[in-house]
C-alpha cells in the first residue's frame, strides 16, 4: 500500500494515513483503506485499531481538491461511492476503532474521525466541515453521523457556517472524547487500545453492533436487536470465563472465543 501504512503489535493495529504533511484523501487512499479494513476484520490477532495521520500537521485535511476539481459528475459519483465504502468499513469493523487526531481534521478527515468509535485529539487539533464554502456539502457521512453524535443544533452550526472548532470546543460538544498534548497523543491512544484489546472479543463486537445498528432503528426493533446480541455474547466461551472469574475473584483470561 502506498497511501496507507499499518503495524500490528500486541493485538493493536495502528493505521497511518500516509500522504504528509496534510494527508489529503484521494481515491487511492479510500480504496487502500477499504482493503485494509477488510483484512483487519478477518485477522483474529487484531482486537483494537488506531487511525492517525503521518506527521504532526494533520490527521487528514480533507478530500484531495486537486483530484476533485477536474472530475465530471459521473466520476465524482464514483469517488463518492468509494469514499463511502471506506467510511462504512471503518464504522462497521467489529473491533473498536480510535481516531488519534493530530492537527487538522477537515472535511473528509473529520468524516473519517466520525466513523471511528472514539476520537482522542491533540491540543492543536482543528475540526471542521467547510464544504459549504466550496459550494458543496459533505458527502462522506458528515450530515448524518455528526448530528447523531452531537445533536442537530450543534451539527447545523458546524455544517451551515463551515467554520473550524478547536480541540476543547470539540470535547465540549461531544465530538472529541479526550484532549491531550501532541507528544502524548499516541501513547494515550495506545493506552485506550490496550484496555479495549483486553476485553472479550465476542461481547465487544456485539455491544458495538447493538449500538451502531440500533441507532438507526425504532426502539422496539433496537431492543430486539439487543436481545439477539446479548444471546450471542452469552453463548461465547469468554462469557463463561468472565462469570467464573467473577465468582473466583480473579482476573479473567479471555481467549477471544
Give catalytic residue positions: 111, 131
Q: Which residues of 137-162 are buried (b: 16+ CB within 10 A; e: fewer)?
A: ebbbbbbebbbeebeeebbeebbeeb
Q: d(Cα 92, Cα 175) in Å, to the nearest integer?
A: 19
Q: d(Cα 119, Cα 256) in Å, to the nearest integer?
A: 25
- Residue linked to cell 502524548: 184
Q: d(Cα 169, Cα 125) in Å, to the nearest integer?
A: 10
Q: Which residues pair with 178 in a beta bridge?
A: 120
Burial of 57 (0-12, 13-18, 19+ CB in 10 A): middle
Of the candidates 105, 32, 109, the one whose C-alpha atom is nearest the C-alpha of residue 63 is: 109
Of the candidates 77, 81, 139, the one whose C-alpha atom is nearest the C-alpha of residue 107 is: 139
Q: What residue spans of the chain are helical by DSSP H? A: 27-42, 65-68, 73-92, 108-114, 142-150, 152-161, 167-173, 185-197, 201-214, 219-234, 237-248
Amino acid at each position: 500500500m502506498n497511501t496507507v501504512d499499518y503495524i500490528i503489535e500486541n493485538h493493536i493495529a495502528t493505521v497511518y494515513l500516509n500522504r504528509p504533511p496534510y494527508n489529503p484523501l484521494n481515491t487511492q487512499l479510500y480504496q487502500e483503506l477499504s482493503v485494509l479494513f477488510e483484512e483487519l476484520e478477518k485477522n483474529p490477532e487484531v482486537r483494537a485499531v488506531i487511525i492517525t495521520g503521518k506527521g504532526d500537521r494533520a490527521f487528514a485535511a480533507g478530500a484531495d481538491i486537486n483530484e476533485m476539481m477536474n472530475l465530471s459528475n459521473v466520476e465524482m459519483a464514483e469517488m463518492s461511492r468509494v469514499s463511502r465504502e471506506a467510511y462504512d468499513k471503518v464504522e462497521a469493523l467489529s473491533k473498536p476503532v480510535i481516531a488519534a487526531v493530530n492537527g487538522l481534521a477537515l472535511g473528509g478527515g473529520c468524516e473519517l474521525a466520525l466513523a471511528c468509535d472514539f476520537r482522542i485529539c491533540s491540543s492543536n487539533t482543528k475540526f471542521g466541515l467547510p464544504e459549504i464554502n466550496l459550494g458543496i456539502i459533505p458527502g462522506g457521512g458528515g450530515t448524518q453521523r455528526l448530528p447523531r453524535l452531537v445533536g442537530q443544533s450543534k451539527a447545523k452550526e458546524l455544517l451551515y457556517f463551515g467554520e473550524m472548532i478547536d480541540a476543547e470546543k470539540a470535547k465540549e460538544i461531544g465530538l472529541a472524547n479526550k484532549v491531550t498534548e501532541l507528544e502524548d497523543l499516541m501513547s494515550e491512544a495506545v493506552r485506550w487500545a490496550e484496555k479495549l484489546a483486553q476485553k472479550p472479543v465476542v461481547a465487544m463486537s456485539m455491544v458495538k453492533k447493538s449500538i451502531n445498528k440500533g441507532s438507526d432503528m425504532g426502539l422496539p426493533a433496537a431492543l430486539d436487536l439487543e436481545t439477539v446480541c446479548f444471546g450471542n455474547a452469552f453463548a461465547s466461551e469468554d462469557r463463561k470465563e468472565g462469570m467464573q472469574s467473577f465468582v473466583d475473584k480473579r482476573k479473567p483470561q479471555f481467549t477471544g472465543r
